[in-house]
Structure 1
Amino acid sequence: MIRWAWKTVLRKSSKSILKTLPFSLPKACNNHLPFHTELSIINPPVSPRFCHGSCHLFDEMPQRTQGSYPNGFFDVLNLVEYCKLKPRLQNVVNVHSLALKAGVLAHLPASTSLVMAYSRAGDYPSSVAVFGEVSCKDVVVWNAMITSAVENGLFRDALSVFAQMLQEGIKFDSLTLVIAISAVSRITKRLRYLQVVHSLGVKKGLVSDCDLHNALISSYAKRGDLGSSERMFLETEMKDEISWNSMISGCLRNDQPDKSLWYFKKMVSCGIEVDNVGLTCAISAASCLLDLSNGRVVHGYAIKLGYNETTHVSVLNSLVSLYSKCGDVDAADTVFRGICVKDLVSWNTMINGFSSNGMILEAFNLLRHIQLEGSIQPDTVTILSLLSLCAESMLLIEGKIFHGFLIRRFNGLGILVINSLMNMYSKCNQIEKAEILFMSAQDRDLVSWNTMISGYAQNGNSWFAQLLFKKLMYQCLKCTLSTVLAVLPSCNSPKFLQFGESVQSWQMKLGFSNNILSANSLICMYTNCGDLRASYALLQSVSTVADTACWNAMITGCTQNGYFSESLETFKLLRRESNAKHDFVTLVNVISACGNLNLVFHGQLVHGFAHKTLVDEDVRVMNALITMYGRFGDVDCAMLVFDLCSNRNLCSWNCIISALSQNKKAKTALQLFQNLDFEPDEITNSTILSACTQLGSIRHGKQIHGHILRSNFHKNCFIVAALIDMYSKCGRLDISIHIFNSSPKKNTSSWNSMISAYGFHSKGQKAMALFNEMIKSGEKPTKTTFINLLSACAHSGFVDDGLRYYNCMSDEYGVEPAMEHHVCVVDMLGRSGLLNEAYEFIERMVVKPDHGVWGAMLSSCNYHGDVEMGKKVGEILFGLEPKNVGYYVSLANTYVAIGSWSDAVRLRNYVQDVRLKKPAGHSLVDVGLH
């Protein structure tokens, strides 16, 4: 109906509109006023209705004059004005009674003030009733009635009164239009309603009024029509500070902070007095641009104006936010400490600044200071900021504390808080708790659904994520791009490819296909599902607008899914065909691909490229380089990169310790561990346990075990697996068994380590029994499980059982035999003296046997003294690895065993002639408590 009325206003003249507008003023209730004859100012106040907005311009409007006034008129009028300024409903009622008794309500000033007094006291129906009793209404009382509706949040009623005003032919003024704009701005985002009011002002010649211009500038900007807002600003002849502030804030609201700063500079150059609103907007614009230099200039100007000493805390809060977002936390803290009277926004801004810059302890300490001060208490905004920090840093205990605080402090948790708690629990791998919150929420919104879907996907519950997405679609809730981004990560294997394709079709139907974030997520999805052809096709389709994140999605997806060659090819395409630039994410994944492919030369080239482009200064790139050189076996380069890294973190130490441990430099790894600058985590402990295993140092292993117990890491499944492996290889199978049995939660790694421990101690029967127990527990065996099981059968001589497990591993357990399994079978047959069967097994292999398979065969020939078979196998190995001296030594020992010294001497002379060197052997005895 309102829309129809506004269209009518545009099409017809004022007189013709009067017969067509359908709006009418709400009717007042009969006998609505309890008339009293006494004035009681001391009566308790009645809680007024919450006002959504007010139009105080009405108070500044010149009042009209009338010819004569009864006795006591001004006394009563003063009382009404007092009630308007300090509204208490009972006082207004008493003054109303007094005005009736004095007979002054016939005079418009008294009636107008009474309308406003009732409105501000929260009794809007009484305002309507008083307004209805006014016989000769002028523009001032109409404006008062429209203002009353706006102040009480009844914006449609305000427009109804305005429409009735037009219908009755009342001549409105510029203030009427300002109030109408205020109402229009709050009930609809449609631009044409604002244009209707604007056209009425143009038609009546009222647009020269500065207040109306300012209202239009602000309202057009709020509607997203910044062009119209700027045109109104240019047409304003007498621009005041409100005009400039409206333009500055309008540009900022429309995501044009650079233009906002330009208007601020223009305002200063024109000599207009700058207030706290203009300063706050200018600082916020610099903050959006991360423009610290301009932000400091505005800060200096604010100091010059004295805003560092005034009560305008909003300016100082904006400065705290500016410095925090630009990474200058010290400056933000200095400004914060200089605020004389801090409000809650000040504390929240500083806490958020610490949180966003990773300063966890400082953020928590600031929360503690708030509580100690007592005058200000943290609100939901404070807790939400810290909950976000707990989620990103996976601080489960602190998150639970905040959850308890919210339950104690507030009667009920709003949906915003519940969503934040769900996000925190999801990222802390507590999806069950997030699910409880989701199910208990009564007023779930789309954010709740998206958070829960994303939580399932992040925690590996792909099926639940997709099921919840289908349920969301069934309920016909309006989905957004965030829903797509939440569900696509659940498509992380080939079995979910069809579902991912259906999600892509759905998002194309909704018009998200051109969004770069959606394209990045789809590229990751197709790569994770193994469909590289679709990934490259999608990347090619957006290549003209593809940014660095888009290319990184492809490169990262390839690296994480084992497509290392494809990752390097994509990197070449990025450098050759794209305008996008690489960043640390790009190089971390490319360096990882070089390391996994053992491409030493390419890895060195990428290292040089990173150094040339200054990306190697990033600690994440340095850590990737340490890992890469460790995989190359180049421990010296790994140590060099580690020493050059000036901002090492715990990951850097973990990488170098792992590199040393992998390259049999366990002693150096232990020395580095003793000089560790950080508190070791699960990765550090499991890596150093591997070094102790290599050294056979149970003494050091026990010390680390004690540290693990004190740090409460002993429940971690990977730590348990490392402890089992360390104790078993140090000869203490009994301790390994105890650790395994006492572990509350066993994963595949724990089972694999225990099976390996039994096999290492030639207890094949127990290894097979444990494997059966593992299957009954529901744990799925892996490639490593069967390597350990077959090795246990080989060491215990259970050939038939080993062959049975090898033959059924693919059909029954879905594990395809790899080269390591073939080596185990050859070793198992060879140890039992079945050399011909072992040789036949090698010849029947579908894949070409590598040096590991033939090496196991040569060892068996040496053990059983089969010279002829050994010669045949040796010739094959010499062709595969001609520089591996171990094969020559093994064959020479076979000759010695049967007394063929001439052949042994001939082989050893050949080794000396080609200058092959056998690594020196060594024995290590650990002296200490066992």
Structure 2
Amino acid sequence: MVTMMQLQPNVEYTHALLERCSNIKELKQIHGLILKKGNITHHLIVSRLLASYVSIEKGKLEYARTVFDRISSPNTVMWNTMIRAYSNSNEPEAALLMYHQMLHHSVPHNSYTFPFILKACCAISAFEETSQIHGHLIKRGFGSELYATNSLLHVFATSGRMESAHALFNRLPTRDVVSWNSMIDGYMKFGNIDMAYKTFQAMPVKNVITWTTMIVGFVRKGIHKEALSLLQQMMAAGIKPDRITLSCSLSACASLGALEQGEWIHTYIDKKGIGKDSILGCVLIDMYVKCGEMEKALQVFSSLEKKCVCAWTAIIGGFAVHGKGKEALDWFFRMRKARINPTPITFTAILTACSHAGLTKEGKSLFVKMSTIYKINPSMEHYGCMVDLLGRAGFLKEAKEFIESMPLKPSAAIWGSLLNACYMHKHLELGKEIGRILIELDPDHSGRYIHLASIHAAGGEWNQAVQVRNKIKDRGLLNLPGLSSITLNGVVHEFFAGAGSNPHIQDIYDMPNLVGNRNDMFGVN
């Protein structure tokens, strides 16, 4: 507590007290002394007082605004303080009003005014105002000021106005790493991966944000192999990856089944002493699960200091994809015993586990409890799990009635799940009915026609099967080939069905003959 005896009239001492002040009660006490001693006209003291109110109130700016409104002639620093505070608050539009008043009072700007007001424009997508402020920035002589122009570039890129961003970027007299990163981030966010990569390659000096932006963008677009290649280049360039880089790289490993790279990243995390927070822990578990290493996934889970619901869900989902429904149920009940509440994703995992393991009764019970006990409204994905559960168990009529009673309009994926079940259980008449519904619902998906053709073929109706397949060509639909991948010596190799684009394809085709010749040499039949 600051006592009145401690408060000195000295300006420097008062300034020091304001810097050390940590609560509103002390601040008001110091404010009172400033008024009493007449220091309220000292701009340095008033600026520091205003900044202290803004900092301590943390977004609640009513008192700070009152103090500001009582200042007779606030200077540029004071205006900037309030604009910045509003741009960081829950009412960024107030920053624009402050700026308008600043213009009305003909207050001089400085290089910090524009970044603060542009941040507010970005927060409320004020594109027209951004263009006006761009004009003010040039008119007042800040068109070549890097800090201000970078802020404008960030707004353009964040809002998807990449033509404006590109034009501004080309006019910049100097560019720093922030300028380049804004362009790369903008191109990535709005789907222009080619331009993002072209800009990335042209960038003279890259930092961890640059590399991470590219890796995250590649992973989000499903370009996993290239993402891992970038990670290797990043490490070779001597740039240390951060948690986000490592998490996204592990996600790429999980999608590719690239266990070797995933284990290498895990070793790197341990060697560098990088703590496994909830995100990093979960992606490690997910990587091991998808690479078929449940034991290692459990080891990672056990090593986590704080086991959040995502980690529990990852383990439950792991047992689900490996067909171990009873183990998944066991871990679900362990999670509840640990007082961790399940999320919608948790229920997707546990319902999938019940479906794959044939635990129909348990799955039905959990689906009911989901809304009655855990107060989670089922999504389309949960309804899909239930259709899959009933379909796999052979309850096809019940599954169809379940779909027809859904409060949500059933998606093509849900009808497709039932169609697969009809094919599996040879219920061909119902399958043909569902197949026709699917094609009507999703006429531009080639897989729907293939499924219906398979149903006709299973019933010996070859002419009908050919007719359905011909519709794929008639509609000009693409039938995407299957893809598989393997990891060899840390490199991921991808193979498309029927394609000969792999550089080692001839060696692969020759391998059966080579193996056969060797067997003949050693007398192996």
Taking structure 1 as the reference length, the TM-score comes to: 0.41
CA apart distance, 1:726: 1.5
Letter in 2 for 1:869: I
Describe the shift of the 1:912–1:800 C-alpha distance in structure 2 as closer, same or farther (beyond 3 A): same
Describe the shift of the 1:768–1:473 C-alpha distance in structure 2 as closer, same or farther (beyond 3 A): farther
Aligned partner of residue 483 in structure 2, secondary structure: coil
CA apart distance, 1:737: 0.9
Equivalences for residues 231-250 of structure 1 within 5 A? none
Equivalent residue for 2:196? 638
Aligned partner of residue 286 in structure 2, secondary structure: helix
* 1:571 counterpart = 2:127: yes
CA apart distance, 1:643: 1.0
Equivalent residue for 2:433? 868
Describe the shift of the 1:818–1:643 C-alpha distance in structure 2 as closer, same or farther (beyond 3 A): farther
Aligned partner of residue 89 in structure 2, secondary structure: helix
* 1:525 counterpart = 2:89: yes
Equivalent residue for 1:705? 266
Equivalences for residues 599-614 of structure 1 within 5 A? 604-605=162-163, 607-614=165-172
Equivalent residue for 1:887? 448
Aligned partner of residue 924 in structure 1, secondary structure: strand
* Runs of 5+ consecutive residues of structure 2 not aligned to the other structure: 1-7, 32-48, 71-77, 104-112, 138-147, 491-525
Q: Is contact 2:432-2:455 (8 Å) kept?
A: yes
- Looking at structure 2, the residues matched to 617 and 505 of structure 1 have their Cα atoms a distance apart, in angstroms, of 39
- Looking at structure 2, the residues matched to 543 and 664 of structure 1 have their Cα atoms a distance apart, in angstroms, of 45
Letter in 2 for 1:674: Q
CA apart distance, 1:837: 4.9
Equivalences for residues 471-482 of structure 1 within 5 A? 472-473=24-25, 477-478=29-30, 480-482=49-51
CA apart distance, 1:636: 3.2
- Looking at structure 2, the residues matched to 550 and 814 of structure 1 have their Cα atoms a distance apart, in angstroms, of 42
Of structures 1 and 2, the one scoring higher in RCO (CA 8 A, sep 6+) is 2
- Looking at structure 1, the residues matched to 325 and 203 of structure 2 have their Cα atoms a distance apart, in angstroms, of 47
CA apart distance, 1:868: 0.5
Q: Is contact 1:886-1:918 (8 Å) kept?
A: yes
Q: Is contact 1:728-1:757 (8 Å) kept?
A: yes
Equivalent residue for 1:722? 283
Letter in 2 for 1:651: I
- Looking at structure 1, the residues matched to 132 and 27 of structure 2 have their Cα atoms a distance apart, in angstroms, of 47
Specify which of 289, 292, 304 is matched with residue 731 of structure 1.
Answer: 292
Q: Is contact 2:121-2:130 (8 Å) kept?
A: no
- Looking at structure 1, the residues matched to 99 and 391 of structure 2 have their Cα atoms a distance apart, in angstroms, of 57
Equivalent residue for 2:41? none
- Looking at structure 1, the residues matched to 82 and 362 of structure 2 have their Cα atoms a distance apart, in angstroms, of 51
Equivalences for residues 501-540 of structure 1 within 5 A? 503-511=60-68, 515-522=79-86, 524-526=88-90, 536=93, 539-540=96-97
Equivalent residue for 1:669? 227
Q: Deviations over 1:236-291 (max 9, x none)?
A: xxxxxxxxxxxxxxxxxxxxxxxxxxxxxxxxxxxxxxxxxxxxxxxxxxxxxxxx
- Looking at structure 1, the residues matched to 405 and 159 of structure 2 have their Cα atoms a distance apart, in angstroms, of 33
Equivalent residue for 1:548? 114
| Structure 1 vs Structure 2 CA RMSD | 4.1
Aligned partner of residue 685 in structure 1, secondary structure: helix
Q: Is contact 2:387-2:418 (8 Å) kept?
A: yes
Q: Is contact 2:122-2:158 (8 Å) kept?
A: no
Letter in 1 for 2:436: K
Taking structure 2 as the reference length, the TM-score comes to: 0.68
CA apart distance, 1:857: 5.0
Aligned partner of residue 269 in structure 2, secondary structure: helix
Equivalences for residues 739-758 of structure 1 within 5 A? 739-758=300-319
Aligned partner of residue 746 in structure 1, secondary structure: coil
* 1:761 counterpart = 2:322: yes
Q: Deviations over 1:434-478 (max 9, x none)?
A: xxxxxxxxxxx554454xxxxxxxxxxxxxxxxxx6xx4499644
Aligned partner of residue 305 in structure 2, secondary structure: coil
* 1:657 counterpart = 2:215: yes
Q: Is contact 2:166-2:183 (8 Å) kept?
A: no
Q: Is contact 1:759-1:767 (8 Å) kept?
A: yes
Percent of aligned positions with the same letter in both sequences? 28
- Looking at structure 2, the residues matched to 623 and 749 of structure 1 have their Cα atoms a distance apart, in angstroms, of 31
Q: Is contact 1:713-1:719 (8 Å) kept?
A: no
Aligned partner of residue 648 in structure 1, secondary structure: coil
Specify which of 257, 265, 275 is matched with residue 696 of structure 1.
Answer: 257
- Looking at structure 2, the residues matched to 810 and 523 of structure 1 have their Cα atoms a distance apart, in angstroms, of 40
- Looking at structure 1, the residues matched to 26 and 377 of structure 2 have their Cα atoms a distance apart, in angstroms, of 40
Describe the shift of the 1:777–1:645 C-alpha distance in structure 2 as closer, same or farther (beyond 3 A): farther
Letter in 1 for 2:452: L
* 1:911 counterpart = 2:472: yes
Equivalences for residues 670-685 of structure 1 within 5 A? 670-676=228-234, 677=237, 678-685=239-246
Describe the shift of the 1:518–1:771 C-alpha distance in structure 2 as closer, same or farther (beyond 3 A): farther
Q: Deviations over 1:529-570 (max 9, x none)?
A: xxxxxx546745654438534544435545xxxxxxxx3xx2
Q: Is contact 1:835-1:861 (8 Å) kept?
A: yes
- Looking at structure 2, the residues matched to 488 and 814 of structure 1 have their Cα atoms a distance apart, in angstroms, of 36
CA apart distance, 1:838: 4.7
Q: Is contact 2:387-2:399 (8 Å) kept?
A: yes
Letter in 1 for 2:114: T
Describe the shift of the 1:577–1:448 C-alpha distance in structure 2 as closer, same or farther (beyond 3 A): closer
Aligned partner of residue 276 in structure 2, secondary structure: coil
Letter in 2 for 1:644: A
Q: Deviations over 1:584-604 (max 9, x none)?
A: 34544654454xxxxxxxx65
CA apart distance, 1:732: 1.3
Describe the shift of the 1:516–1:680 C-alpha distance in structure 2 as closer, same or farther (beyond 3 A): closer
Describe the shift of the 1:831–1:478 C-alpha distance in structure 2 as closer, same or farther (beyond 3 A): farther
Q: Deviations over 1:858-877 (max 9, x none)?
A: 54455455220221123112
* Runs of 5+ consecutive residues of structure 1 not aligned to the other structure: 1-185, 190-221, 223-415, 420-444, 451-468, 490-499, 528-534, 559-566, 595-602
- Tell which structure's C-alpha radius of gyration is larger: 1
Q: Is contact 1:626-1:659 (8 Å) kept?
A: no
Q: Is contact 1:512-1:518 (8 Å) kept?
A: no
CA apart distance, 1:856: 4.4
Describe the shift of the 1:667–1:578 C-alpha distance in structure 2 as closer, same or farther (beyond 3 A): closer
Q: Is contact 1:488-1:525 (8 Å) kept?
A: no
* 1:877 counterpart = 2:442: yes
CA apart distance, 1:779: 4.5
